[in-house]
Structure 1
């Protein structure tokens, strides 16, 4: 996107809401998410629950799709609780090999240094987010504003629940915030909450998905955001 448009977008927010897996790190860089999804499917099938999932859900390679599908059919059940805990444990294991997104750490610290308040709004477990942030020395940049997956799985993005929780806790109007995300569900959640959106697309496939969903402000790297923030509003 054009630098002036990007400058205008990042100059406004008093509160910056970050998705976690993507803009901050690649959580499953060394611990493949598709294998995690397969493991969840196999765990269900080992308990005679093959019929809980449709063929497309079984082949989705997305653990959150598997989790949400089971929750839709057995909301609030012990089965869902156990499946969610299995996913959380896989996410926790993945933090040890997660790959930091280029320029994310300095951008987070710089945004905090210039006076913006930061929060995380994610479909990942908040336990996982805290573990990763502690490993990078970033906890103080966000705490206590980490809003992740709860037992109410119908509140996962694209539902705006975690964004609304962050805005309410931080006393921010949606128009005074900015959401940084890398998936259509991030965009849809931001739109539903009334929060401006900046898409991060590390490859052409991610960019196409965001554009097809209606995103207009997209960057392939966080570097220009960091450079603009460091240059100040008048540069």
Structure 2
């Protein structure tokens, strides 16, 4: 009945196709930062990257890491290039800034609609995120969405090597839901999300914050792309 209802309320163009893609899914796999939460808008992202670099003081960093505004880029570099103790210190710093941001950031415009649509379709939700499990839990609990999420497949200190663009977290989520991954849809807002989805065999709906990102997502192979601010799809 709900799927028939959606058929009668299609939107034109890409919006119609996005509804078709979502309404065929047996589960939603949702990225966290972007599709659900506006976790670290500028300049918060730059402050987070600075905190992530703090345990690396005295380490000769490449320019792209020294100037990075993405704390996860710093974390990936530390995991590959620093000793275990330093890498764990960077992970702890990243988790701390994420938890702080999760305690005060706003939901994304698409977030409420994705949860609403999953409820209408009576399908489960998994949150699949490169952000820490603790920070995602804090946010979902704060905004009242935690009880609507069936699985959290997020970063832990043990899985830093396996975050997106690796397909590992997506596969973990689908396995936990006991649903073939090709019968899910992943909603993400970055090229690494698209790469992970394609490697996992999962259809992907891209959310673009601007025209440049839209072109990147389309070029990366997203099945459909809509605006990150599209709350009425």
TM-score range, shorter chain: 0.7 to 0.9
Write the distance in 2 (CA, Å) between the matches of 1:28 and 1:84.
Answer: 17
Q: Kindly indicate whether the alpha-carbon contact (under 8 Å) linking 2:40 and 2:101 is maintained by their aligned counterparts in 1.
A: yes
Where do 5+ consecutive residues of structure 1 fail to align? 226-235
Query: What does residue 164 of structure 2 align with?
Result: 157
Q: Runs in 1 of length 4+ with deviation above 6 angstroms?
A: none
Structure 1 position 138 matched with structure 2 position 170: no
Structure 1 position 147 matched with structure 2 position 153: yes
Query: What does residue 81 of structure 2 align with?
Result: 73
SS in 2 for 1:97: coil
1:91 Cα deviation after fit: 0.7
| Cα RMSD for the two superposed structures | 1.8
1:98-135 Cα distance to aligned partner (Å, 9 max, x none): 12111422430331242111000000001001100011
Aligned partner (choices 38, 46, 49) of residue 50 of structure 2: 38
1:149-207 Cα distance to aligned partner (Å, 9 max, x none): 12231101000111000011111112210000000011111001100000011222322
Where do 5+ consecutive residues of structure 2 fail to align? 1-12
1:42 Cα deviation after fit: 4.0
Q: Kindly indicate whether the alpha-carbon contact (under 8 Å) linking 1:112 and 1:118 is maintained by their aligned counterparts in 2.
A: no
The number of residues matched between the two structures is: 219
TM-score (norm 1): 0.86
1:40 Cα deviation after fit: 2.3
Query: What does residue 67 of structure 2 align with?
Result: 59
Q: Kindly indicate whether the alpha-carbon contact (under 8 Å) linking 2:27 and 2:184 is maintained by their aligned counterparts in 1.
A: yes
Query: What does residue 84 of structure 1 align with?
Result: 91
Aligned partner (choices 11, 22, 26) of residue 14 of structure 1: 26
